[in-house]
């Protein structure tokens, strides 16, 4: 697969602590700030110069043709099915099958004031922008405190998401990045762990809201790894729960989660229309 692409690849105290949390803003260097790149001489083109479809649109972008994307999608699908822990393959599958769904997500964000601000400011969720130690000082029950508690309990961190590579539109690439980076927030809001059964429940919740094909594929083929009892519980309890919770509150991609750290988690759940999830 890498050989196929090689021809086209171009080289109080709590409040005080929370006030230290970094937030992403347009002044910070970002691979998605294309208006800055466009002003550099090497990115300027005369009106008579044809656009090169294989010119990278952002830092991690790997331009590819439709045929190449098809090959990547098929290969990553088989690999992800055989080895579900291959996050890079799951990411590639999501990017190569998701442009239309990403376009719909972008449109929903553009239709909402907060969503537009997120697209404009392009916040990033990683260890450089989220002060986990400050979040640990927040009162129990707040979104920020429960988020870091969830990270500690599950042994994961905010830097575990793959960079976007195969989405050819820079805005949609950021939408894809945001979708990945707030995924753990959705685990916290829904009260789900990172077990296979819980992850599949969240995937169905995601698909019901966003329509991403990779979430549907995970929801359909993922149960093959479950026991018969787990599959029955997923299909009779958690899938109906996920579908029932879709569209009941604010669209999840239009929530500026980084501004909700001090909000009680239960209030955030009400804002998103998330009802209590049955215990796994």
Length in residues, the chain: 280
Q: Would the pLDDT of 156 be above 60?
A: yes
Per-residue pLDDT averaged across 102-107, rounded?
Answer: 97
Write out pLDDT tens, residues 18-70. Answer: 444 443 333 333 444 334 333 333 334 444 444 566 788 888 899 999 999 99
Joined tokens for residue 83: 């080895």
pLDDT for 53 equals 65
Q: Would the pLDDT of 101 be above 80?
A: yes
Q: Would the pLDDT of 116 be above 70?
A: yes
Query: In a 10 Å sphere around its CB, with 0-12 CB exposed, 13-18 middle and 19+ buried, how is residue 38 labelled?
Result: exposed
The SS3 of residue 142 is strand
Per-residue pLDDT averaged across 210-231, rounded?
Answer: 91
Write out pLDDT tens, residues 72-89. Answer: 999 999 998 888 778 899
Q: Cα(221)–Cα(278) distance, rounded to whole angstroms?
A: 22
**87-97 and 170-181 helices, crossing angle to 10°:** 140
More confident of the two residues 134 and 37: 134
pTM of the model: 0.79
Of 14-28, 144-158, 193-207, the one with minimum mean pLDDT is 14-28
Residue numbering of the annotated binding site for Zn(2+): 183-184, 187, 199
**265-272 and 183-190 helices, crossing angle to 10°:** 100
Of 29-38, 132-141, 154-163, the one with minimum mean pLDDT is 29-38
Q: Cα(227)–Cα(230) distance, rounded to whole angstroms?
A: 5
Give the distance from CA 66 to its chain's centroid. 23
Residue numbering of the annotated binding site: 183-184, 187, 199
Write out pLDDT tens, residues 246-257. Answer: 888 999 999 999
């Amino acid at each position: 697969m890498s050989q196929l692409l090689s021809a086209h690849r171009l080289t109080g105290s709590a409040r005080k602590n929370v006030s230290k949390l970094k937030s992403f803003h347009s002044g910070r260097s970002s691979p998605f700030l294309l208006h800055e790149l466009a002003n550099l001489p090497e990115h300027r083109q005369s009106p008579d110069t044809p656009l090169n479809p294989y010119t990278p649109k952002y830092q991690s972008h790997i331009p590819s043709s439709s045929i190449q994307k098809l090959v990547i999608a098929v290969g990553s699908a088989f690999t992800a099915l055989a080895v579900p822990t291959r996050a890079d393959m799951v990411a590639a599958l999501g990017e190569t099958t998701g442009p239309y769904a990403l376009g719909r997500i972008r449109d929903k964000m553009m239709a909402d004031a907060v969503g537009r601000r997120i697209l404009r400011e392009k916040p990033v969720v990683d260890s450089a922008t989220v002060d986990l130690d400050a979040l640990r000082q927040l009162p129990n029950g707040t979104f920020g405190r429960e988020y870091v508690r969830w990270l500690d309990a599950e042994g994961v961190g905010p830097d575990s998401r793959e960079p976007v590579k195969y989405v050819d539109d820079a805005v949609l690439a950021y939408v894809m990045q945001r979708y990945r980076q707030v995924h753990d927030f959705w685990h916290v809001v829904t009260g789900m762990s990172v077990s296979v059964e819980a992850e599949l429940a969240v995937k169905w919740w995601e698909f019901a809201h966003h329509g991403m094909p990779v979430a549907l594929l995970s929801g359909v083929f993922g149960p093959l790894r479950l026991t018969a009892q787990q599959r029955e519980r997923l299909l009779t309890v958690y899938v109906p729960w996920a579908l029932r919770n879709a569209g009941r509150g604010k669209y999840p991609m239009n929530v500026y989660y980084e501004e909700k750290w001090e909000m009680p988690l239960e209030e955030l759940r009400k804002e998103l229309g998330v009802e209590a999830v049955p215990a796994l």
